[in-house]
Amino acid sequence: MIDTHWEKNLIINGRELRYKGLFRVDQLFSTINRALEEKEYIKREKRTEELVTVDGKRTLVELRPYKEKTNYLALMIKMRITLDRVTDVVEEVDGEKKKFQNGDIEIIFDAWTLSDYEERWGMSPVVFFLKGFINK
């Protein structure tokens, strides 16, 4: 399990994905979960908030999936998913009425490598210099 003393190196900072229109919330989250499983990430939900407003529902979900590559190196993604002004609508698809949601989706990605080489090698000045040189 990832511990708090791991060194973090930011790889992706604030990549955004935006969508407006019809979607299905259940399909959105099942697609995210399937993608994380395929890439062998362990899903971790940090927080979930839901607020009902005049314009519709607003849902915030923060996920922190991670994958341990070795005992000393892990990858972590932070996904902030915001569903805003979400309302339920019924649309006819292939002659059948189906329930969809209409609104705005924003997903913001951050990604880090987490390393704990201090445990493995210690932090002698030579190792510290080489690690910093290689990481840059």
Question: Model's pTM, two decimal places?
Answer: 0.77
Mind listing the pLDDT tens digit for each residue in 9-52? 899 999 999 999 999 999 999 999 999 999 999 999 999 999 99
In this predicted structure, the answer to whether residue 124 has a pLDDT above a threshold of 70 is: no
Average pLDDT, the chain: 88
Average pLDDT of 100-104? 95
Mind listing the pLDDT tens digit for each residue in 54-74? 989 999 999 999 999 888 889
Q: Residue 57: count other Cβ atoms within 10 Å of its Cβ.
A: 17
Residue closest to 104 by CA, chosen among 53, 46, 36: 53
